[in-house]
Structure formats: C-alpha cells, structure tokens
Amino acid sequence: MVHLFKRLGYNIAVDTASASVHVLDDVAYEAVSLFDKTEEGELVAALAKKFGIPTDDAEECVADIKELVKEGRLFSEDRFRPDVAALSKRSPVVKALCLHVAHTCNLDCDYCFASQGKYHGERALMSFEVGKRAIDFLLENSGSRHNLEVDFFGGEPLMNFEVVKRIVAYARSREEECGKRFRFTLTTNGMLVDDDVIEFSNREMDNVVMSLDGRKEVNDRFRKTAGGAGSYDIIVPKFQKFAAARGEREYYIRGTFTHFNPDFMKDIDVMLSLGFDRLSMEPVVASPDSPCALTEEDKPVVMKQYELLAERMIEKNRTGAPFVFYHYMLDLEHGPCIYKRISGCGSGTEYLAVTPTGELYPCHQFVGEKGFEMGNVFDGISEEGRKIIADFKRCNAYSKPECEDCWARLYCSGGCAANGWHSTGDVNGVYAYGCDLFRCRMECALAVKAAEAVHVS
C-alpha cells in the first residue's frame, strides 16, 4: 500500500510495508498515483502531455519509480501477519512499570481521567515496602531485558517524594548484581517542585513530564487547587527553573487540549514564549458526554493546529530556534523494528501499572476499572491476570479489521487499548476519532521531515 498526500506544499509518498518515505515533485506524484493502474507506455505519454515535458524525461521518472519498486521501497507487499502470530506465542516479559505512588493530588483538575488522582477509590500513598516489592517483581519478571523503566505517577507523585527517593535508591542498589539499568520518569503537576526535587531529578530521572496546558486562562480553567484557585502562576516559574536545570536531560512540558481549547497552537506558542523547547500536547481523555470532550466540530480545528504546529516547527528550525514536539519526533532511518511496530505500547503485557497497595493493572488508564485487576506484586499475576494478558497480546493492527486499509497502521500499532476500550467497550476496539487525529499528526510530522530534506538538498 502506498499513501500519497500533500501537506504544507510537499507531495509525499509513504510505502506502508517498508516504511519508506519519498518526497515527490508534481510529475512524480502523478506518476506514482497512476503507476499500478496504468500501462507503462500510456503512463509516459500521459505525463509528457499533462506536464509538457519531453518523453525521455517522463520515461526517466517512471524508471526511477520502477527502481524503487524493485528495491521494495514502493508498492511493497505486507508480509508481516505470520510474524504477529509468532510474536503472540512468545512468553511476555515485563520491562516497564507505572508506579502509582500517590492516589491523591494537590490539584483538583476537572478533566482528570484519574478522578482527581483517586482512580475511583480512596486516597492512598504507596509505602516503601510496596514500592520495593514492585522493583523486585520487575527484576524477577524482566527476563533478559537490560533496560527497565519505572514511571512515578499519580495522582501527584511528589506528595510521596520520600518514598520515591527510597524506591530509586533501592532499584539502583540492585542494578549491578542483576545486570539491569533502570530508567526513571517523573510526571508532576509542579506544585511541589523545589530545589530538592530538581537536584534529585537531575541526578536520577531520565525524563520529567511537567503538566501545563498553555495559556493562563486555559490552564486555570481545569488545573485548579482544591480551593478553586488557578495553578498557572505557581507552577510556571517552578517549571521554568526545572526545565532550565535539566540541561541536556530530557523533559516535556505536557499539555492537554479539550473542547474548550481546540485551537491549542495558541497554547504551544505560550509554552515557547515561556522558554520551553520540549513539548507534548495531547487530546483529553473523557467520556463523550463530558463538557470537555472533543466533538466532531472540533476535529477540523484540531487538525489545523497540527498543520500550524508543523509550519511553526519548520520556521523555528530554519531560524535557529528549534523545538521538539513529541509526536513529530520521527527517526525514519533507525526507528522501531517491525516487532516493536507489531507489539505496540506493550500495555497489559510488558508494561503494567501498580497501585499504592500493589495491585497490578494493564496500564495507568485501567487502574481502578472493574475486571482489569491482574494480581499484585506480592503474589504475582493471577489466573484472571493471565486471561487479561492474553487479551492484550492480541491488541495490534493485524487483529483489527479497521486497520487493514490504514496506511499508518505500522506507526500506531493499532492504537491505544484504553482508548479502544473507552470508545467501544473492547480493548481491541478502535477509537476512530483518535485514528483521524493520529493520521493527521503523522502526515504533518512527515511534512516536517520533507521540509528538512528539501531544504538540505
């Protein structure tokens, strides 16, 4: 399958099965679009006539396309379905945990999918004993994997900072003897960020995700204290100090856009004006009847923002002030292998969430949801948990009829199981709205890559 599209003035062809990407001029774009349904001589004549070019020029263009086909980089056949079956027979290893160290929060964000951090349950903080056992569970179940990941999540994880520090110290103490390397991530609302947090994070956290929605009025609409005051004026100076102190280390300013700010490019611009240069802006996770849920009417507005964002990125790249947008980071040459593209994010198989009391769930978005508890870190995966693993193992682009004709299936791996479950009641379901946004994002990301390549050439 070849996906042809035009974005930001670039003509682009994506060969789905090989993951090859090509930028085309108008003649080549026309030629590729007709290539598999037109006889060669007829195609050459049609190109020469339509574009007023010499016949030998049109022949050369068609010959270039034939060469790419021969190399398996255009119109290549997708032969990966048997690999999916083989992969599903492998025994899964756990390589990442989302540690819910705090099911409580010092903000009261109306749109929080975690119900103000409590996940439909009681307020709770993880004890060191549970955290230590979670680390041991990960070490025991990670097979030969060297890189292990732990995200400190909540609620607000900094409300349990002393335990976070002890868990990290314990994990570090086990690295050498176990032949493992832990990569830690912290996701925070910023309210408790201070010099101690910054110093510790710069020493131990591979990545820090800082929640900020952009414009002050947008951020403070939802991200409020329990007393109803906005958080913007408190967290922005803390995040600015934190981000500056990160140096070359990874961080993301991570915003949420909702029905109230589908024009989120204005929020991105605010983030840039505040000096942040590593950004992520995500659609809200909300039930369709929520006032903040994105609507069909919002969709074209949101898609326009992705285009504006791509244009801004190209402009900033050329003026020497580049920034990173998470979804536009594409490594076209050394990106994920086919096995990663088939297996997706790994939720429910190699990535699990741990509650403050040690229960295991397929990922942070399933925590507290009835029917998704998989056991606990003390007793291991339960019988029910094994059934859940089997369910999640079959979540991929090759198990969903909707993905068969989608050019982006090996970029998204069939999408997010939680989104699928929320929208269809099936973890293997498809959240069609999210698919539309994903395809738009991918086209824009590829257009940024095209701009870089054309600028260089």
Partner 1 sequence: MKRIISLNTDLENSKKEGGCGECQTSCQSACKTSCVANQKCEKPAK
Span 63-82, contacts to partner 1 by CB under 8 A: 64-65, 68, 71-73, 76, 79-80
Please tell me the distance from the alpha carbon of residue 47 to that of residue 174, in angstroms, as a whole number. Answer: 65
- The closest of 223, 308, 289 to 257, measured between CA atoms, is 223
117 in Cβ contact with 226 (< 8 Å): no
Please tell me the distance from the alpha carbon of residue 241 to that of residue 353, in angstroms, as a whole number. Answer: 30
Return the residues of window 254-313 that contact partner 1 according to CB under 8 A. 254, 280, 282-283, 285
Degrees (nearest 5) of the Cα angle 254, 257, 261? 135
- The closest of 314, 318, 259 to 290, measured between CA atoms, is 259
Out of 36, 40, 42, 57, the residue judged to bind partner 1 by CB under 8 A: 57
Which of the stretches 118-126, 156-164, 379-387, 439-447 binds partner 1 when contact is defined by CB under 8 A?
A: 439-447
Site string for partner 1, 163-202 (x = CB under 8 A): --------------------x-x-x---------------
Out of 59, 83, 220, 307, the residue judged to bind partner 1 by CB under 8 A: 83
23 binds partner 1 (CB under 8 A): yes
Return the residues of window 205-264 that contact partner 1 according to CB under 8 A. 207, 209, 252, 254
348 binds partner 1 (CB under 8 A): no
- SS3 of 72, please? coil
Number of helical (H) and strand (E) elements in the chain, helices listed first: 16, 15
151 binds partner 1 (CB under 8 A): yes
Q: Which is nearer to partner 1, 111 or 232 (CB)?
A: 111
Out of 335, 384, 390, 426, the residue judged to bind partner 1 by CB under 8 A: 335
Out of 198, 434, 440, 443, the residue judged to bind partner 1 by CB under 8 A: 434
CB of 229 to partner 1, least distance (A): 25
Which of the stretches 24-32, 227-235, 236-244, 302-310 binds partner 1 when contact is defined by CB under 8 A?
A: 24-32
Out of 354, 410, 430, 440, the residue judged to bind partner 1 by CB under 8 A: 410
Interacting residues of 226 by C-beta distance below 8 A, sequence separation 6+: 106, 107, 108
Please tell me the distance from the alpha carbon of residue 160 to that of residue 154, in angstroms, as a whole number. Answer: 10
109 binds partner 1 (CB under 8 A): no
| Residue located via tokens 């990545």 | 207
Helices (H), 282-416: 298-318, 338-343, 383-393, 409-412
**Site size for partner 1 (CB under 8 A):** 86
By the 10 Å C-beta count (0-12 exposed, 13-18 middle, 19+ buried), 225 is classed as middle
Which of the stretches 217-225, 233-241, 297-305, 445-453 binds partner 1 when contact is defined by CB under 8 A?
A: 445-453
